[in-house]
């Protein structure tokens, strides 16, 4: 089965829908660490806990292309302060206002 997606169907994500996210102490702490550490502008940031694997997924939107190993550097920073398993994804997105 082939799925054809046209360019008009693709939308650019500029903000995360955090309506269904339940913040915890750890997710708030991870957000604070990332906002204080990252040197590039951030359009939006979301930290999601995967209950089944005890994994925290950190999603970052930025107007710039991610530099080499940004995600790995942020993951290591989080692990220095909080002993949790994390997956960090830095993605380019267009936005006008920044949260950091």
Cα–Cα distance for residue pair 90/93, rounded to 1 Å: 10
Cα–Cα distance for residue pair 32/12, rounded to 1 Å: 25
Cα–Cα distance for residue pair 69/61, rounded to 1 Å: 15
Tell how far CA 44 is from the center of its chain: 7
> From the DSSP assignment, how many helices (H) and strands (E) are in the chain?
2, 3
Q: How confident is the model at residue 3 (pLDDT cuts 50, 70, 90)?
A: low
Per-domain boundaries in the chain = 12-92
**For 12-92, which CATH class?**
alpha beta
pLDDT at 10 over 60: no
Q: How confident is the model at residue 6 (pLDDT cuts 50, 70, 90)?
A: low
pLDDT digits (tens, 9 = 90+) for 40-79: 888 999 999 988 888 999 999 888 877 778 899 999 999 9
In this prediction the pTM is 0.80
- 59's enclosing H/E stretch is strand 55-62
pLDDT digits (tens, 9 = 90+) for 71-93: 999 999 999 999 999 999 998 88
| Tokens read off for 11 | 């939308």
Instruction: Please name every residue paired with 89 in a beta bridge, in sequence order, or none if there are none.
Output: 59
pLDDT at 87: 93
């Amino acid at each position: 089965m082939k799925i054809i997606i046209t360019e008009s169907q693709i939308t650019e994500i500029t903000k995360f829908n955090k309506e269904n996210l339940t913040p915890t102490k750890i997710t708030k702490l991870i957000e604070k660490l990332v906002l204080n550490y990252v040197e590039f502008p951030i359009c939006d940031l979301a930290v999601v806990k995967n209950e089944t694997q005890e994994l925290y997924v950190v999603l970052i939107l930025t107007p710039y292309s991610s530099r080499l190993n940004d995600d790995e550097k942020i993951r290591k920073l989080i692990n220095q302060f909080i002993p949790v398993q994390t997956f960090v994804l830095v993605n380019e997105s267009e936005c006008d206002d920044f949260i950091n």
